[in-house]
Amino acid sequence: MLSMQRITKTFLYGLFALVSAPAGAAASTGSSGSSAVWGYHPSAVESTEDPSFCGLDAPYDVQPFTIDDDSNDPCPTAAPNPPPLCKGPFCLPGNVCLGNEELHETSNGCTNGGCCLPGSVVDGVVDVLPYLTRPVGADFSANPAVDQRDDVDDSPAISKAIECAASQPTTRRTVYFPAGRYVLRTPLRPEHSNMTLEGPELSPDAVPGDPGTATLVAVPCNPEQFPGAIQINKLGVSGIWIRNFQIALTDGPWIQANSGIRVNSCSNCEVENIIMRYAPSPAQLPQCKPPNLDGITFGLGSWGAIRNVIVDGVPKGGIYLSTVTGDQPMPHTDVENCEIRNINGPVGASGIKIITSNVTVRNCEVHHSLIHPRNGGAAYGGHGLWIAAQDSNPSTKPIDVLVQDSYFHHNGGSGVVMASPIPDKRPERIYLEGVRTAYNGNHGVHIQAGTDLELQDLWSWGNGYSGVYLQSKVSLPASALRVGTVTLDDPIIFDNYLRRTSGAYPGIIVQASDVTINGGEFARCTGSRGRQLKSIQQQCWMSGLEGEEVLFYPENNVFSDIVLHDDTSAPETMVCPHE
């Protein structure tokens, strides 16, 4: 029963206060130096009460997903064709960005300790300010007007500070960025092991351009050549820490994917205390954003930690964890205390994407992901969490992914998706614990492929369609591996199907075999709160290539100790519309 499942009125009221906040509202309030915390932290208070679903949900009139008023308009500007070329004094002959063909560290006229300026190093910590050289009228400050000058580029100077730090004999070498605004025409590359780039302590409540913070402004001389603020792409580096920065991204690639912070081939690396915003000038409609810009990426075997981050408005993906190691086990990566919001470009907009193994996502909130097509048409899709196999060479699949105490809401697609385009690969050993999915445009949790899946203490309510959909149907060979062994313990599924105006629909749809649901409660509140009038419905399904479809029936499914509220019907044995 509810009283035995650690459910409280306080927890629910906190959840609904969050979902009623406007898109882009921070998860916490206060000011720099306040008691604000990063990420999503539900109440852990226990209660002996047995509250009613309807009594808690009835005051709220929230619709699934949000669609901007201008979402039906085509982008008034065309994609750059050909891509823009580098302009300004920071370009090499041939309009190539200085530092992209050759690292700043090997072209800036100094090496190792020869890059150090007198008085800039104290106990292995290098102060960036003495290295900055700017033209008259562009003095260092927090004034955003400096972003518009095509004669300011702090990247070469900062590269000297990085090279100086690399020469220090201390175990950890640190480059310190005092509060202010740094203009980067090409990314910084701290490609030295045991190196830290950091600014002053950063609060999650810091506003854009807060003069007490260090802001890295990426104004790429050519968005198709290594855009973003920080890039690591050197084999064999480890222990690189990036922390306490605001990052403003102003442009991005159209052809080859890249990121605001891109970490490749880096072991035990950390990105921490970061607020990243896509902030072009002038502002762009979502459908006009560069489609291939992600927020923070760990790729090519990188592992470590991403914690205490906010990613806001990036077009394609907020956090992207990828690898090309095939099915080889990966060292562990933690993603903790993050808020990913307003991921809303024209292609593939999703909050967190995982196509690698051995990952923990904890205390994260992901909301308002939505795809805006460039050619107009209704906005659609955009998932909170995307866990999928990758069709690459070699192909990969996520294994051993744990998602704990996280909240996925108001995304245009589904809150959580597991999928695979590959017949013989699918996510394996995926665990959701204490996950909440609410007010997403499609399903709360949509599992299209996966096996050895465990969902414990899942809450799913107010979604456009079902709370949980286990869907084995796919346009691949009928023998393709799809949804395998799935266990749900004590799910709370209520008030779903807000996009249906009539009919009766189940909270959980099962088009799969070997599914176990232990306990759980199902409810529908009032007539205005969706059409979830059934609890669980098993369905047969057709799967296979066109003209070769095979009819499948659910087998070995066990449902026990189900609690029904408000005239919700009992689990249905099987429905087969294909017969």
Q: Residues 397-426: what's their mean pLDDT?
A: 95
What is residue 48's DSSP assignment? -
The mean pLDDT value of the chain amounts to: 86
On whether the CB atoms of residues 142 and 215 are closer than 8 A, the answer is: yes
Q: Residues 509-529: what's their mean pLDDT?
A: 89
Q: Residues 387-410: what's their mean pLDDT?
A: 89
In the predicted structure, residue 48 carries a pLDDT above the cut 50: no
3-state class of 156 per DSSP? Answer: helix
Q: Where does 173-259 have alpha helices with state H?
A: none
Measured between alpha carbons, how far is 277 from 295 in angstroms, rounded to an integer?
Answer: 9
Least confident of 98-112, 227-241, 429-443: 98-112
Give the model confidence (pLDDT) of 547-571 as tens digits: 889 999 999 999 999 999 877 899 9
- pLDDT at position 22 is 32
On whether the CB atoms of residues 446 and 464 are closer than 8 A, the answer is: no
On whether the CB atoms of residues 507 and 493 are closer than 8 A, the answer is: yes
pLDDT category at 266 given cuts 50, 70, 90 is: very high
Least confident of 279-288, 321-330, 395-404: 321-330
Measured between alpha carbons, how far is 329 from 100 in angstroms, rounded to an integer?
Answer: 32
Between the CA atoms of 313, 319, 325 and 330, what dihedral angle is there, to the nearest 10 degrees?
Answer: 180
Q: Residues 188-200: what's their mean pLDDT?
A: 96
In the predicted structure, residue 174 carries a pLDDT above the cut 90: yes
- pLDDT at position 23 is 33
Q: 15: part of which helix (H) or strand (E)?
A: helix 9-19
Sorted by sequence, the CB contacts under 8 Å of residue 307 that are 6+ apart come out as 38, 270, 271, 272, 273, 334, 335, 336, 337, 338
In the predicted structure, residue 394 carries a pLDDT above the cut 80: no
- pLDDT at position 119 is 94
Q: Residues 115-135: what's their mean pLDDT?
A: 94
pLDDT category at 49 given cuts 50, 70, 90 is: very low
- pLDDT at position 487 is 98
In the predicted structure, residue 13 carries a pLDDT above the cut 80: no
Sorted by sequence, the CB contacts under 8 Å of residue 97 that are 6+ apart come out as 86, 90, 91, 185, 186, 220, 221, 222, 225, 226
Q: Is the peptide bond before 76 cis (omega within 30 degrees of 0)?
A: no
In the predicted structure, residue 95 carries a pLDDT above the cut 50: yes
Least confident of 9-13, 358-362, 412-416: 9-13
Measured between alpha carbons, how far is 501 from 498 in angstroms, rounded to an integer?
Answer: 8
Sorted by sequence, the CB contacts under 8 Å of residue 382 that are 6+ apart come out as 343, 344, 349, 350, 369, 370, 371, 411, 412, 413
In the predicted structure, residue 376 carries a pLDDT above the cut 90: no
Give the model confidence (pLDDT) of 451-462 as tens digits: 999 999 999 999
Measured between alpha carbons, how far is 220 from 568 in angstroms, rounded to an integer?
Answer: 56
